[in-house]
Amino acid sequence: MNFWEYLVNRHQQLLTDAYQHASAVFQCMVVATLLGVLIGVATYRSEWAGNLATTTTATILTVPALALIGLLIPLVGLGVPPTVIALTLYGLLPVVRNAIVGLRGVDPTLVDAATGIGMSRPARLLRVELPLAWPPILTGIRVSTQMLMGIAAIAAYASGPGLGNVIFRGLASLGSANALNQVLAGTLGIIVLALLFDAAYVLIGRLTIPRGIRA
């Protein structure tokens, strides 16, 4: 069967796998964003702490995804848990780094002005610093999401959800009639999802970033 016939015959399963893939990446990005911004807020005022946070999260990326997931299996088992932990850890670096850069790049005179009108430190952070740092933070989220789209496919090694299962099934049956179709369908599905997510981030940027501070 050719590729288009394969898509027509298996579209329901492919759509289910695509939904699970997108859902896993989205949920892990939400957690990675919250953790990354919190780490950025906690460390951006100190050069030493900021460098430590960046270096630590960068070190995580040096661990091969397959190895990290393999190490997590004895601790948390198969399926969703190792997928969520691995994707969240891999998604931290761009968010942490861009949060620190964005917060450090806020004009000090604006912070001083906010202080001068009686704003508390939490109020300055929430109403002045974080909104101005949002463009680079959003860029970090976009970069992390693109990374996780590909890394999530490896989660199939631990019986994780997503399009990686389609790719692994194809690789495990190389030489069979549908092996290439499976690998191609899974790969193209991940690319399409990555493009859709990126388009959504562009729209979010247009809706949440004032025209005057857009890059």
Measured distance CA(152)–CA(83) in Å, rounded: 7
pLDDT digits over 139-192, tens only? 999 999 999 999 999 888 887 888 999 999 888 888 787 889 999 999 999 999
* Count: domains in the chain: 1
Higher pLDDT, 23 or 172: 23
Question: 140 with 99: CB under 8 angstroms?
Answer: yes
Check whether 113 has a pLDDT greater than 80.
yes
Question: What predicted TM-score, i.e. pTM, was given to this entire model?
Answer: 0.90
Domain hosting residue 7, numbered range: 3-213
Q: State residue 133's pLDDT score.
A: 93
Measured distance CA(172)–CA(153) in Å, rounded: 15
Choose the weakest-confidence range: 5-14, 50-59, 198-207: 5-14
> What whole-number percentage of the chain has pLDDT above 90?
61
3-state secondary structure 2-39: CHHHHHHHHHHHHHHHHHHHHHHHHHHHHHHHHHHHHH
Q: State residue 212's pLDDT score.
A: 65
Question: 66 with 154: CB under 8 angstroms?
Answer: yes
What lies within 8 Å, CB to CB, of 89 at 6+ separation is 60, 68
What is the rounded average pLDDT for all residues in the chain? 91
Q: State residue 215's pLDDT score.
A: 54
What CATH number has the domain bearing residue 131? 1.10.3720.10
